[in-house]
Structure 1
């Protein structure tokens, strides 16, 4: 993860624009995962942009945010409830020894519009993410709050008062069996769909379609075209935020056609925000052509996000 740098992210962001996925394409947030900032200032406790980080990000995160804004995108930043992130970088922590308030102020000053808060090394409970919610609100800057509790502590039961999206399962991988396992895990949660709606969404994890960067893939076998189509369709009807982890410059025409599907976009952005409910468990042989869902009505290091409308 520490190999992520400014030039790579600029390339991936520009590729999204060139592929017409930004603006009318529906994708708006570019979330930098594991930016690995410099050490904290010993006097103020603020994150610094020095050392190895400065070598990878010579112009800094605020400048990258301006780069994104010029291209119609918004900056997302990743942090963690632990003192260290899942990748071993500096995290915001939590509680009296943490740096939550000062980090949210820093991210707001850098122009962030999306904050992903992961769950490595800290107390995985509602109060932890409430601390982040309060710190985000205190900045006065509207920022999407992504609660990445990976299903622990049942975030769907309290997430709507704390964040804008919450993970309901563990990390999925780029393989159909793993995606099905994630779906079935979510399907086992009683009445999961009733917890989602405008302003707060059940997050099924990122999309595993397209050409994933080599340092971001979980080593899965990849998806066939039919599986990719099914994956995107299911995430759309489930109203999961759609996060692409792929390099758009390496996407095939067939994958781009899936991601740009206007009919699915209309379903995903339905203003009522009602999530589809599975009738039964999914099995490895199911694809979009055979899996049946009942709607309650008559989305590397980096990822572009298309989240359903907020309240």
Structure 2
């Protein structure tokens, strides 16, 4: 049996001991589409679409209110919801969200102010955690603005974020804890012991690959990597995240920031690659598009169950970058990762400006297993499945948008719910979870795929038990 980072982590205590996020959390967040214009109506309308369009059935369970929800503190020091945005209060909103079978998230900052200059939680951790628990909150996104200089060493950041972690635990309510400190002070080294996820870089924008002085750590300019920045492209965030692939484990995940699928800026090919990479690297999948105006291509990306099965595989760990080469117009990269039952994920990324044929040998694919594992695996033969080959058609997606979840080609609820399906035993064989078989690779052979510019080939390999089956 191959030893993966996840198997090595089984003996570790789960993040916060709260039992949450055993696979990366999935849901929707208000910020990218609404910023401070969000309110109760925005949240409820999005939640209704998450249910009616089948997103809840696929595992998108958290509906997260980001910044700008409060109206300050009362005389007792407790936060007050903005009465214009939330006339019925947050507790009432939480009840409505829970009645839909979803969970409600809220936002604050480990500073005196939030990033939009609303009341922060620094010094009020116990009061805020107790209040949120009393409202029925299920998720906290905890930012890093106006932190009074309490950063600069891992210990300073750890202490500040751990204070809120302890306060959440003390409420007795399971609240998923999502640290958003932008990679400052190396959260991948301390956050796994106190949180369910941690942002490992500056803010992502819906741009594929562009040098931006506001997002340091440019590989070509040699800028200061310690400054988190913002306006980071997909490739910039990816090229930072690859160095921390060994850090996440069940209950604690590297967060590459929220999804930009459906927000414009990315081509369809780029959006597919963005979603695939975030799933492969085990980032939380938080949608941010306007759910009430979702289009068919966006829905078909976000509802690709074969890709979601990789994200939510209960036995897999983050895919690891095996090689990278520079080509005209960008980079080509190859990723590999273990999946349940001995399956293997292979992801070929073409960051260049032209389509190309890309190859990965079985030696490349099983490089992470070490010499002994590689020798064993490359002598086997493997069936190759393309996880995007059966992408939902626009006609089917439009039927779902117009007619609701009843038109879905796969009913996850009828199959026992997304947790059971993504962890299906015996191993999944349906196209909905495997994609389509596109060929086989014989022992010591090479996997080959045509990859569009700024695109990916996302493949699942399954061992052939007998060469006669090839």
TM-score past 0.5 threshold? yes
| Greater RCO (Cα-Cα under 8 Å, separation 6 or more) | 1
Q: Structure 1's 167 and 62: CA in aligned 2 closer, same or farther, altered over 3 A?
A: same
Name which of 210, 223, 227 aligns with 2:262.
Answer: 210
Do the aligned partners of 1:85 and 1:120 also contact (CA within 8 Å) in 2?
Answer: yes
Q: 2:105 aligns with which of 76, 96, 110?
A: 76
User: Partners of 2:284 and 2:334 in 1: how far apart?
Assistant: 21
CA distance in 1, matches of 2:114, 2:316: 32
Root mean square deviation of aligned Cα: 2.0
Tell me which of 256, 266, 279 is aligned to 1:223: 266
Alpha-carbon distance in structure 2 between the residues aligned to 1:35 and 1:84: 11
Deviation at 1:55, TM superposition (A): 1.1
- Which residue pairs with 1:304 in the alignment? none
Alignment of 1:1-311 (within 5 A): 1-22=35-56, 24-42=57-75, 44-49=76-81, 53-93=82-122, 98-122=123-147, 123-124=150-151, 125-177=157-209, 178-187=233-242, 189=243, 192-211=244-263, 222-281=265-324, 291-297=333-339, 298=344
1:33-56, Cα deviation, whole Å (9 max, x unpaired): 0143122122x211123xxx1011
1:144 CA drift (Å): 0.5
- Alpha-carbon contact 1:19-1:248 (below 8 Å) kept: no
Cα displacement (A) at 1:3 = 2.1
Deviates more, 1:26-35 or 1:7-16: 7-16
Measured against aligned partners, the alpha-carbon deviations of 1:277-302 in whole angstroms (never above 9, x if no partner) come to 12245879679xx642121454xxxx
Unaligned runs of 5+ in 1: 212-220, 299-307
Structure 1 length-normalised TM: 0.84
CA–CA separation in structure 2 for the residues paired with 1:243 and 1:104: 22
Structure 2, unmatched stretches of 5+, are 1-34, 152-156, 210-232, 345-418, 421-470
Q: Between Structure 1 and Structure 2, whose CA radius of gyration is higher?
A: 2
Name the structure where strand makes up a greater proportion of residues: 2
In 2, Cα distance between the equivalents of 1:71 and 1:20?
12
Kindly state the Cα deviation for residue 71 of structure 1 after the two structures are TM-superposed: 1.2
Q: Check whether the contact 2:69–2:85 (CA below 8 A) recurs between aligned residues.
A: no
User: Which residue does 1:216 correspond to in 2?
Assistant: none
State how many pairs are aligned: 277
SS of 1:54's equivalent in the other structure is coil
CA deviations 1:212-258 (Å, max 9, x no partner) are xxxxxxxxx61110001000000001010100011122222122111
